[in-house]
Each structure stands twice: as C-alpha cells, then as structure tokens.
C-alpha cells in the first residue's frame, strides 16, 4: 500500500502541464488564424459591397439607356442642348414637350407638371448627332471605384414623316440635355386611291389566291402566274425583302423567328391570311413595311413579339380586323398608315406604348387596346374615329385625336399612373359619348371642333386632375355622372349648353364653371361644388334656365344671385355672369 502511494505522488510531481512558452505560442497561432479569418471576412464583405454598388450602377445605367431609347425613338422633333441652355421647370413646360437632362449626379426626365429621376450615381450624360436623323448618347456611372458606360445610337424614324432633322447646339459646351416632341404625327394626304375622307378602309387589291406555301405576287393581281415566286416557309423566319406583294396563306400556319428579328419589306404590300401565327423570342421585333401597298391581316392572325411590333404603310391602308398583337419586354406596338387604319374587334396588348396613326379614318369598333409598364396609348387620324364598344386601358395616358367625327359610344377608357385621358376633334366635327365610361387617374379633356354629346355616360377624373369639356358649338349632357377630382369646367364657345338629369361635382376647393356662348339650360341636375358654382351665358341677351336643380356651393363668401330667388328653400349662392335667370318650381 505504501509503495503504491509513493508511485502516485511521483507521477503527480512530474505532471507539469503547459509551460508559459507553449501558452504564448498557442495564443500567437490563434491570433494569426483569427486575424486571417477576419481579413478574409472583411475582404468578402468589401467585395460584396463593391459588387452590389457596381451592379446597382450598371442596372441604373442600363435602365436609363432603355428608357431613353424607348422615349425618343418616336419623337417628331428633337434638339440637343448644351450645358449653358436653361431648362424650364416642369410647371413651365408646354404640352407634348419632353426633356432628358443631367441634373447633378442624376438623369432627370421632365415634362409638363411632372419630373422623375431615371438613374443616380451618373457622372456623364452626353448627346451627339450621328446623322441628320440618328441620335448618339453616352451614359457613364461610377460606383466609387470604377466607371461603367453605355453608348447607343437611335434612328428617329418619325423624323422622316415630319420632314424634320435633329438640331444640335453645342456652342456652349458639352451637350448634356435633350428636348423633343412626341406628339401625334400628321401624315401626308392620301397619295391616290383608298379612302381619305373617312369610313372603313376598302383596300383596292382583292383577296389573293390561296396556295400551299408563301409566295410573292410581282404583278400584284392576286393570281399566281408568270413571273411570280414561290417561297419556302423558312425564308420568312427572319428578314425578307421583295419588290412585289408578299402573300402568306393560312396553310403556312406558324412562323417562328426564334432569336432573329422578323422583318418583311414588300414594296407592293403584305397580305397574311387567317389564323397564321408569327412569333419570335430573345428580345427581337416583328416589323412589316411596304412602300406603296397595303398591310392586311385577316381575322385570327396572331403576332407575338418579345420586343416591338411595327406596321408601316406610308401610302396605303392597314387592316387588322379580328387580328391579335402582343409585345413584351417593354416593346411598343406602332401602326402607321398613309390612308386608313381598321382594327375592328382586334386585340392589341403592348408592354409599353401603343401608337396608331392614319392619314384617313381610324376604326377600332369592339377592339381591345391595352398598354402596360407605364406605356401610353396615342391614336391620331385625319379622318373619322370610330371606337364604339372599344375597351381602351392604359397604364399611363390615353390620347385620341381626329380631324373627323369621333364616336366612343358604349366604350370603356381607363388610364393609370396619373395619366390623362384626352379626346379631341378638330375642324367642324362632332364628338359623341353615349353610354361611355371614362375613368382617368389624372385629368379628363374632351374637346370638340363642333358639338359634344354625352348621354348616359360616366366621366371621372382623379388625383386632382380635373375634368374639362370644351366645344366650339353646343354641349349636350344628359343622364351622365361627372365627379371631378379638382375643377369641373364645361365650355361651349358659340353654342348652348344643355344639362339634363346629370350629377356634377368638384373637389379640392375648386369651382364648377359652366360657360356658354349662348344659353344655358339645366334640368333635374345635382351640382356639388367644393368652392363656387359659376354659370356664365354668352351675353345679357341669353338665358340661364334652371329647373328642378339641387345646388350645393361650399364657398360661403360667393356672390349672391342678383334676384335672390331661393333654390331648395335657400338663396342660390353661386355666381351668375350675364343673361337672365329663369327658375321654375322644384
């Protein structure tokens, strides 16, 4: 027992543990490992933040470049401005004028009453004129360490139609701003044939002969005969050009451009028979152009593009009744004819803008038009405009202008993103809205060159946009609802104003102003003004007739009516300008 205890004591005496040197070595090694780990972690964080910053700058530059391309390529006038030019504030910019400029380290997009930033961390924005109708621009962004640049050229095709050129002023240094117009294009008068006066298009060329494969009608008689040319289906998978008329029969069924742009240039026209499908992918467009002929898409034809869809017939008609068109990836749909455009029962859906112009009439009865991604819908024609039973929905603005009668009866028009809805006829032509629904996320402007008729309709403005009805002749509104976010102005320059069984309202401490060049006749109508109700006849020889009306005027300081006759038992507190007031019993 004693010997065993002595052995244990000896063993404990020789168990010395770690020496100080060993501890210091271990601590030094641990410090080196931790320092290396911290350095690697710090390097990773730094690389992550640099990569994120660089990615953000690159994304900003690319998005700004895409936006500039999309907004400027349909411009009808363009001026490159130097650094010394004074750019007006948004509230001083006129209609259809747009600016893109470098403001500090940001690219700004500025137009009437609006301004928004397109990209930040931008160190350079420069515009140049590559040719009379080609715009070049450079955008450079900086993430704090390195620059990222994009250079692009844009051919401004609509300058050809307006016979305009890019104007460049670099006398004051580097060009850092751009001013342009993209208002509706007025194409030249009908160069011969067709239907310049209005009505539905009636193309002079007959329905061509149906064959088993696509073909080219060189003598333009619709019959396959000597000199004509048979095509293979894959001839049309990309770019195809001919001096004749391109015929694509129903038996072709489907054409897929894949990753290539589908572009057809046919001097004498393009005819696509029913139920043919044409599509492409990989951010490529579908483009149909003819120098002297018509573009005709029969019912059931489908165009699906991963970018733009462009139809251009500068001397002919475009007819796509019952056809469908769809673009994606912020692609526009542009339809431009030198005579008439007919889109009855067509379905047109764009991921950006829809632009429709015609030097004759434009018809879209029972059509569906829809734009997404802040894209607007702009329609302009020199003849009549017929959009009865059409559904027109825009993620931005809607503008329809004609130089003939405009009818949107039984139609639905809706805008978003504070986009206005503007309908206008010029010359001595009428505007008709019967059972029409107009819902604008901004202002509503209805302007007629002759008379304006609104029956059983709902006209709504929001976002303090206001509602403005104006006609050169008379205005007739019956059984209609007109709640305005902002002011409500109704003006007949030379004619009478008749309002029956309607409800009119203004908000935001604004007026309801009814101004006539002749008489004013109000029956069974509710007026609810957040400030003044102002009725103004043409002169003292005219009459303001009020019968069974309910009038609410929230401005207690408004003028009393001259004769003090009560309405609803209370003195009418609105303003009467000119005319003799006649009030019947309630």
d(CA 356, CA 391): 15
Which of 139, 154, 182 delimits the end of a domain? 182
The least confident of 197-201, 229-233, 401-405, 522-526 is 197-201
Q: What is the mean pLDDT of residues 384-403?
A: 94
- Mean pLDDT: which of 10-14, 79-83, 239-243 is highest? 239-243
**Confidence (pLDDT) at 400:** 96
Binning pLDDT at 50, 70 and 90, where does residue 267 land? very high
Binning pLDDT at 50, 70 and 90, where does residue 117 land? confident
d(CA 426, CA 176): 37
**Confidence (pLDDT) at 562:** 36
Q: Yes or no: say if 152 and 135 are a contact pair by the CB < 8 Å rule.
A: no
Binning pLDDT at 50, 70 and 90, where does residue 123 land? confident
Mean pLDDT for the chain overall: 81
Whether the predicted pLDDT of 527 surpasses 90 = no
Binning pLDDT at 50, 70 and 90, where does residue 161 land? low
Q: What is the mean pLDDT of residues 59-75?
A: 79
3-state secondary structure labels for all residues of 413-431? EECCCCCCEEEEECCCCCE
**Confidence (pLDDT) at 2:** 56
Binning pLDDT at 50, 70 and 90, where does residue 576 land? low
Q: Are residues 98 and 177 in the same domain?
A: yes
Q: Are residues 348 and 332 in the same domain?
A: no
Q: Yes or no: say if 340 and 189 are a contact pair by the CB < 8 Å rule.
A: no
Q: Are residues 133 and 272 in the same domain?
A: no
Q: Are residues 322 and 371 in the same domain?
A: no
Whether the predicted pLDDT of 124 surpasses 80 = yes
Distance of CA 379 to the CA centre of its chain: 10
Q: DSSP string covering 74-120, please?
A: T-SEEEEEETTSPPPPGGG--TTEEEEEEETTEEEEEETTEEEEEES
Binning pLDDT at 50, 70 and 90, where does residue 289 land? very high
Binning pLDDT at 50, 70 and 90, where does residue 14 land? low
> DSSP code of 559?
P
Do the domain assignments include residue 30? no
Do the domain assignments include residue 29? no
Q: Report the percent of the chain where pLDDT is more than 70.
A: 81
Comparing 121 with 182, the larger pLDDT belongs to 121
Helix (H) or strand (E) holding 66: helix 20-72
Comparing 188 with 111, the larger pLDDT belongs to 111
Q: What is the mean pLDDT of residues 463-469?
A: 91
3-state secondary structure labels for all residues of 152-221? EEEECCHHHHCCCCEEECCCCCCEEEEEEECCCCCCCCCCCCCCCCCCCCCCCCCCCCCCCCCEEECCCC
Do the domain assignments include residue 7? no
Residue 347 structure tokens: 């379905």
Q: Are residues 251 and 384 in the same domain?
A: no
Do the domain assignments include residue 189? no
Do the domain assignments include residue 15? no
Q: Are residues 448 and 403 in the same domain?
A: yes
Q: Are residues 161 and 86 in the same domain?
A: yes
Q: Are residues 539 and 393 in the same domain?
A: yes
Q: What is the pLDDT of residues 309-320, one digit of tens each?
A: 999 999 999 999
Do the domain assignments include residue 491? yes
First to last CA, the chain: 128
Q: Are residues 136 and 147 in the same domain?
A: yes
Binning pLDDT at 50, 70 and 90, where does residue 585 land? very low
d(CA 53, CA 370): 36
Cross-strand bridge partners of residue 414: 393, 439
**Confidence (pLDDT) at 163:** 55
**Confidence (pLDDT) at 41:** 65
Whether the predicted pLDDT of 586 surpasses 50 = no
Give the 3-state secondary structure of residue 67.
Answer: helix
Q: Which domain holds residue 435?
A: 342-584
**Confidence (pLDDT) at 104:** 87
**Confidence (pLDDT) at 551:** 76
Q: Are residues 300 and 367 in the same domain?
A: no
Which of 339, 362, 381 delimits the end of a domain? 339
Whether the predicted pLDDT of 206 surpasses 80 = no
3-state secondary structure labels for all residues of 312-368? EECCCCEECCCCEEEECCCCCEEEEECCCEECCCCEEEECCCEEEEECCCEECCCCE
Q: What is the pLDDT of residues 18-38, one digit of tens each?
A: 677 777 877 888 878 877 776
Binning pLDDT at 50, 70 and 90, where does residue 544 land? confident
Whether the predicted pLDDT of 570 surpasses 50 = no
Q: Provide the phi-psi class of 30: left if phi over 0, else alpha when psi is between -120 and 50, else beta.
A: alpha
Which of 287, 320, 339 delimits the end of a domain? 339
The least confident of 56-60, 198-202, 271-275 is 198-202
Residue 348 structure tokens: 């047109």
For the full predicted model, state whether its pTM sits above 0.95. Answer: no
The number of folded domains in the chain is: 3
Task: Tell me whether residue 94 is exposed, middle or buried, using C-beta atoms within 10 angstroms of its C-beta: 0 to 12, 13 to 18, 19 or more.
Answer: exposed
Residue 336 structure tokens: 């431009």
Do the domain assignments include residue 191? no
**Confidence (pLDDT) at 200:** 40
The residues near 61 (Cβ < 8 Å, ≥ 6 apart) are 119, 122, 139, 140, 141, 148, 149, 150
Q: Are residues 81 and 158 in the same domain?
A: yes
Give the 3-state secondary structure of residue 44.
Answer: helix
Comparing 195 with 291, the larger pLDDT belongs to 291
Do the domain assignments include residue 213? no
Q: What is the pLDDT of residues 213-253, one digit of tens each?
A: 999 999 888 888 888 899 998 889 889 999 999 999 999 99
Q: Are residues 407 and 525 in the same domain?
A: yes
């Amino acid at each position: 027992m004693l010997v065993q205890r002595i052995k244990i004591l000896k063993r404990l005496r020789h168990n010395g543990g770690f020496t100080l040197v060993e501890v210091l070595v271990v601590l030094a090694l641990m410090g080196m490992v931790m320092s290396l780990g911290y350095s690697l972690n710090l390097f990773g964080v730094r690389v992550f933040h640099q990569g994120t910053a660089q990615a953000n700058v690159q994304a900003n530059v690319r998005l700004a470049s895409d936006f500039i391309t999309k907004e400027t390529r349909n411009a009808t006038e363009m001026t490159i401005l130097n650094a010394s030019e004074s750019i007006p504030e948004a509230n001083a910019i006129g209609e259809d004028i747009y600016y893109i400029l470098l403001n500090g380290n940001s690219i700004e997009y500025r137009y009437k009453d609006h301004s928004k930033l397109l990209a930040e961390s931008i160190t350079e924005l420069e515009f140049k004129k590559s040719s009379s109708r080609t715009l070049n621009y450079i955008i450079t962004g900086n993430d704090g360490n390195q620059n990222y640049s994009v250079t692009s050229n844009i051919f401004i095709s609509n300058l050809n139609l307006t016979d305009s050129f890019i104007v460049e002023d670099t006398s004051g240094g580097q060009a850092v701003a751009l001013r342009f117009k993209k208002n509706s294009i007025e194409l030249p008068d009908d160069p011969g044939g067709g239907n310049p006066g209005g009505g539905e298009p009636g193309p002079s060329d007959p329905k061509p002969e149906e064959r088993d494969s696509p073909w080219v009608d060189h003598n333009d008689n619709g019959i396959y005969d000597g000199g004509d040319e048979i095509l293979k289906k894959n001839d049309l998978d990309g770019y195809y050009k001919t001096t004749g008329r391109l015929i694509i029969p129903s038996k072709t069924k489907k054409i897929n451009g894949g990753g290539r742009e589908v572009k057809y240039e046919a001097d004498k026209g393009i005819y696509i028979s029913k139920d043919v499908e044409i599509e492409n992918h990989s951010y490529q467009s579908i483009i149909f152009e003819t120098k002297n002929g018509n573009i005709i898409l029969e019912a059931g034809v489908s165009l699906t593009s991963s970018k733009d869809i462009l139809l251009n017939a500068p001397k002919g008609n475009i007819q796509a009744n019952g056809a469908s068109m769809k673009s994606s990836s912020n692609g526009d749909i542009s339809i431009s004819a030198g005579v008439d455009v007919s889109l009855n029962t067509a379905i047109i859906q764009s991921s950006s803008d829809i632009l429709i112009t015609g030097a004759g009439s434009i018809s879209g009865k029972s059509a569906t038009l829809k734009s997404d991604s802040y894209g607007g819908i702009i329609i302009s024609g020199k003849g009549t405009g017929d959009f009865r039973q059409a559904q027109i929905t825009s993620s931005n603005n809607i503008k329809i202008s004609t130089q003939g009668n405009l009818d949107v009866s039984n139609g639905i028009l809706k805008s978003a993103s504070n986009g206005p809805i503007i309908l206008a006829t010029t010359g001595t032509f009428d505007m008709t809205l019967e059972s029409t629904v107009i819902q604008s996320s901004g202002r509503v402007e209805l302007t007629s060159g002759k008379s304006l008729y609104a029956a059983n309709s709902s006209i709504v403005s929001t976002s303090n946009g206001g509602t403005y009805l104006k006609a050169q002749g008379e205005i007739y509104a019956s059984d209609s609802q007109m709640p305005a976010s902002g002011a409500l102005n109704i003006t007949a320059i030379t004619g009478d104003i008749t309002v029956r069984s309607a409800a009119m309202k203004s908000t935001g401490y604004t007026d309801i102003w009814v101004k006539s060049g002749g008489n004013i006749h109000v029956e069974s109508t509710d007026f609810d003004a957040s400030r003044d109700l102002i009725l103004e006849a043409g002169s003292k020889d005219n009459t303001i007739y009020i019968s069974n009306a309910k009038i609410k005027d929230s401005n207690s300081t408004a003028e009393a009516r001259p004769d003090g006759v009560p309405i609803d038992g209370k003195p009418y507190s609105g303003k009467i300008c000119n005319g003799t007031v006649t009030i019947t019993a309630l």
